[in-house]
Copies of this chain bind each other. A is one copy, B any other.
Amino acid sequence: MKPLVQLLPVAATPPSLKDNTGDIDRLRKALRPHLGDRPLSVPFGRLASVAAAFRRAGFAGVAVVNDLVTGPELVDFLAAPPRVLAGIALDLGTTHLEATLVDLADGEILARADRPNGQIAFGADILSRIHFAVRDDGLARLKAAVTEDINTLAEELAGSVGIELADIRAMAVSGNTTMVHFFLGLDPYHLCREPYIPLANAPDPCRAAELALAIHPAAVVWVLPSVGSYFGGDLISGILASGLDTAEETCMLIDVGTNAEVVLGNRDWLVACAGAAGPALEGGVARMGMRAGPGAVDQVRFDPTTDTFIWRTIGNEPARGICGSGIIDLVAALYLGRFIDLRGRLRPRAAGSRLIDTPEGPAFVVVPAAEAAAGEPVTLSQVDLDALMRSKAAMYSILTTLTNQVGVAFADIHRIFVAGAFGRHIDPRQAITLGMLPDLPLATYVPVGNSSLTGARRILLEASARERCRELVRKITYIELNVNQEFMIRFSGAKFIPHTDHTLFPSVPFFGGGD
């Protein structure tokens, strides 16, 4: 373990007429046994304050040294080690920011915090924010919004363990390519325009002061690199967290956020692709959709013996909406109960009184008004169903296209790591029923939680993770699906439950022809 910022003990001989070495030069010299031949740099902006602190401390104490690719960087000097040397791991999500405060000495998570991404005020999704960014001072406003969010999180984290903001000496940031562009104030114009080129995939680390972050001004900010416009550092972080790049057997990582991002590979090779598959699975897109949180329906079963739906909400609170995993459960239940057909169309005769008319068209009542929060039924509309069918078809097509391109059969995949809230809450059984995930033994599927956050924490703590990160970015072959013909053909075939070719899903009941 070698954290991104280290405290190196120093006990230098004080200056004398026999040793007139300059203060900074003396400190450099005292650090040489720790650093070997690597040249230690001192950023100009830190020179005066580090030298003053070193002298004030009587030429003994601890040096604060950032570990960069270009070599170690001396940024501060303390008379005594701080109670905690802390770093922040940040998952910079499009809709949500999640952060942990990490003790860099032992890797312990000291605190957690999260909040919505304040950029939502300027655009709900990535595309609308990119359009906002390129107008007038749009980019500056997006940058300021997320900076403020991060500073608020940092304050919360520091406050909850009773340390100062200046005790936070490092930050590792993992986010999709667009969020990283906004965070760094980089022009996102070409991200969403063919051929979809980021301004920078792998920016060098910078210091907190350069980003107006409220943590220690010399804190190193390490941004996880991306591989393309639609394949961000959040997934690189996921690869780190799941260990895909060091696995002996071929594994897969699936991350469904705003996009579906998939990596396949092992320690020898990695291929990746991404595609728009997520919207229907993210809270806020389906009319009754919501983030996995209190009151969200997250599990649904249909009991044919009693002709009733059995559902559960997070926190057992009155139902307020349905989260992504709930929608998948629900649609699988609707299919198994034959309330929808192979194409995901509601079957009015089977649905009966559960089908209501709404301004958005027909909708299926999942939780009756009497049992729901605010007295309004929780429903799933045909529009939502259509969106889900597209999402699930996209997901399966992404997986088949990717495996086909490298000649790997699904059966050859040792583990499929499923990241994010999707991975945490989804029941792979139901996702298989819908034909969203391949029909593999359930034990193949391993939820890995917020791997974007986990990976960022490893960046904070391990030099090997930082090195792996640079290597795996070089190693990944990225397949662009936006213009892939094979993907489009597979997508059409996947818009059925479970699939046009139902033999691909032997474990899923097949109900033959149409209505």
Name A residues whose Cβ lies closer than 8 Å to a Cβ of B. 15-25, 39, 41-45, 47-48, 51-52, 55, 69-71, 184-187, 190, 194-204, 206-207, 210, 226, 228-229, 478, 480, 482-483
Whether B210 lies near A21 (C-beta < 8 A) is no
Residue in B41, B186, B483 whose CB lies within 8 Å of A47 = B186
Whether A47 lies near B195 (C-beta < 8 A) is no
- Report the separation of the CA atoms of residues A210 and B43 in the bound assembly, to the nearest whole angstrom: 10
- Report the separation of the CA atoms of residues A203 and B22 in the bound assembly, to the nearest whole angstrom: 10
Closest residue of B by beta carbon distance from A54: B199
Residue in B22, B43, B52, B199 whose CB lies within 8 Å of A24 = B199
| Minimum distance in angstroms from A28 CB to a CB of chain B | 8
Whether B480 lies near A17 (C-beta < 8 A) is yes
Whether B52 lies near A187 (C-beta < 8 A) is yes
Assuming the contacts A22-B201, A203-B44, A204-B42, asked whether A17 and B195 have C-beta atoms less than 8 A apart, the reply is yes
Whether A15 lies near B197 (C-beta < 8 A) is yes
Assuming the contacts A17-B194, A48-B186, A228-B20, asked whether A39 and B199 have C-beta atoms less than 8 A apart, the reply is no
Report, nearest first, the 8 A-B pairs whose CB atoms are least far apart.
Answer: A44-B206, A22-B201, A22-B198, A24-B200, A15-B197, A20-B228, A70-B70, A17-B195
Whether A202 lies near B71 (C-beta < 8 A) is no
| Minimum distance in angstroms from A499 CB to a CB of chain B | 28
Interchain residue pairs with CB less than 8 A apart (23) = A16-B195, A17-B195, A17-B483, A20-B196, A20-B197, A21-B197, A21-B201, A22-B199, A22-B201, A22-B202, A22-B226, A23-B190, A24-B200, A24-B201, A24-B203, A25-B200, A25-B201, A44-B203, A45-B210, A47-B204, A51-B186, A51-B200, A70-B71
Whether A184 lies near B47 (C-beta < 8 A) is yes
Residue in B17, B19, B204 whose CB lies within 8 Å of A41 = B204
| Minimum distance in angstroms from A401 CB to a CB of chain B | 15
Residues of B within 8 A of A70 (CB): 39, 41, 70-71
Residues of B within 8 A of A39 (CB): 69-70
Q: Say whether chain A's binding surface is mostly helix, strand, loop, or mixed.
A: loop
Residue in B41, B184, B200, B480 whose CB lies within 8 Å of A23 = B200
Closest residue of B by beta carbon distance from A15: B197
Closest residue of B by beta carbon distance from A55: B190
- Report the separation of the CA atoms of residues A342 and B39 in the bound assembly, to the nearest whole angstrom: 55
Whether B20 lies near A480 (C-beta < 8 A) is yes
| Minimum distance in angstroms from A4 CB to a CB of chain B | 16
Assuming the contacts A39-B69, A41-B70, asked whether A199 and B20 have C-beta atoms less than 8 A apart, the reply is no
- Report the separation of the CA atoms of residues A441 and B25 in the bound assembly, to the nearest whole angstrom: 41
- Which residue, of A69, A198, A210, A480, has the highest number of chain B Cβ atoms within 10 A? A198
- Which residue, of A42, A44, A184, has the highest number of chain B Cβ atoms within 10 A? A44
Known: A22-B200, A47-B199, A48-B185; 19 extra A-B contacts, CB below 8 A, are A15-B195, A16-B195, A17-B195, A17-B196, A20-B480, A21-B197, A23-B197, A23-B199, A23-B200, A24-B200, A24-B203, A25-B202, A43-B204, A44-B184, A45-B210, A48-B187, A48-B199, A51-B186, A52-B199
Closest residue of B by beta carbon distance from A480: B17
- Report the separation of the CA atoms of residues A18 and B42 in the bound assembly, to the nearest whole angstrom: 41
Whether B200 lies near A20 (C-beta < 8 A) is no
- Report the separation of the CA atoms of residues A187 and B15 in the bound assembly, to the nearest whole angstrom: 16
Residues of B within 8 A of A25 (CB): 198, 200-202
Residues of B within 8 A of A24 (CB): 199-203
Residue in B20, B44, B196, B482 whose CB lies within 8 Å of A195 = B20
- Report the separation of the CA atoms of residues A48 and B204 in the bound assembly, to the nearest whole angstrom: 12
| Minimum distance in angstroms from A442 CB to a CB of chain B | 35
Residues of B within 8 A of A210 (CB): 44-45
| Minimum distance in angstroms from A486 CB to a CB of chain B | 14
Closest residue of B by beta carbon distance from A20: B228
Closest residue of B by beta carbon distance from A191: B22
Whether B203 lies near A42 (C-beta < 8 A) is yes
Residues of B within 8 A of A198 (CB): 20, 22-23, 25
Closest residue of B by beta carbon distance from A71: B70
Residues of B within 8 A of A184 (CB): 44, 47
Whether B204 lies near A44 (C-beta < 8 A) is yes
Residues of B within 8 A of A185 (CB): 48
- Report the separation of the CA atoms of residues A37 and B418 in the bound assembly, to the nearest whole angstrom: 37
